[in-house]
Amino acid sequence: MNSEVEVQSLDLIIVIAGNSDEYRKTACERLAGRCQAKIISINTLYNLPTNHELWNLLRDFNYTLIVADTLYPRPLESIIISHCIDPLELHCIDTRTYASAEALVDSIYLLYCTDRSGTGEIVNYDNVDIQRWYPVIDKTRCINCSHCLEFCLFGVYSNSEDDVRVLYPDNCKQGCPACSRICPQGAIIFPLYDKDQAIAGVPGMIMSPTPEAIEMYEKRTGKSIDEPEDELDRLIDEFDKLQFGR
């Protein structure tokens, strides 16, 4: 892979991740034949090391980014944002909701490809074989209360200038999702956790803190804790603000 790939002149970058090599090959080739974009193939985003060159490539502000992976959209978006990637538009797609690579391509083409000249460029990254386990933070929900930082025994989190981050992700204990259960806002997601859909970031589901976690939070902060809103509640609130200005 050439690390000198430029993105400044592009309007659209599409990342096809996860799935099989053949799935990604099919999706990338079909997209390249139908729309003008840089189309990136990589086998994983969640397991990608922090210093991987792809993150540097994507740190540009003048393009729309489409990311399709075998993760739910909310954790996928949180992973992208955690690497200081802030494109003009970001759209995250769970490829598992499509029957085939061809169906995925049809959807991306219809929704996002404005230049349909069929001159896309494919960039293939080598497969990443490491397996990681760490939380991601949904910054649209996080209130930077540092409850996770105080709770975690493994030094995963940091708080600098009231901005809680996953600073040392690889310190996390394999398979442990405990901090997700104590977050007062349901902001902590473990994308690979398969025993609780809310912890994994399934659309429409937000993890609620356990009674023990609520007691712990209120004792530490001296503040009461409200049940976190689910995504439907938040959408209704946003609609009310737009309609009634409140």
Mean pLDDT by 10 residues, the chain (246 residues): 46 95 97 95 96 91 93 97 94 97 97 89 95 97 93 95 95 96 94 96 92 85 67 55 52
Give CA–CA dist 15/167, Å, rounded.
Answer: 25
Give me the long-range contacts of 177-181 (CB less than 8 A, separation at least 24).
177/135, 178/151, 179/135, 179/148, 179/151, 179/152, 180/135, 180/207, 181/207, 181/209, 181/210, 181/213
Beta-bridge mates of residue 157: 166
Give CA–CA dist 116/18, Å, rounded.
Answer: 25
- What's the pTM value of the predicted model, to 2 decimals? 0.84
Provide the terminal-to-terminal Cα distance of the chain, rounded to the nearest Å: 50
Looking at residue 229, its pLDDT comes to 52
Which amino acid, 169?
Answer: P
Q: Which helix (H) or strand (E) holds 12?
A: strand 12-17
Looking at residue 2, its pLDDT comes to 42
Cβ-proximal residues to 1 (8 Å cutoff; 6+ apart), any chain: 53, 123, 124, 125, 126
Q: Is 171 in contact with 155 (CB distance < 8 Å)?
A: yes
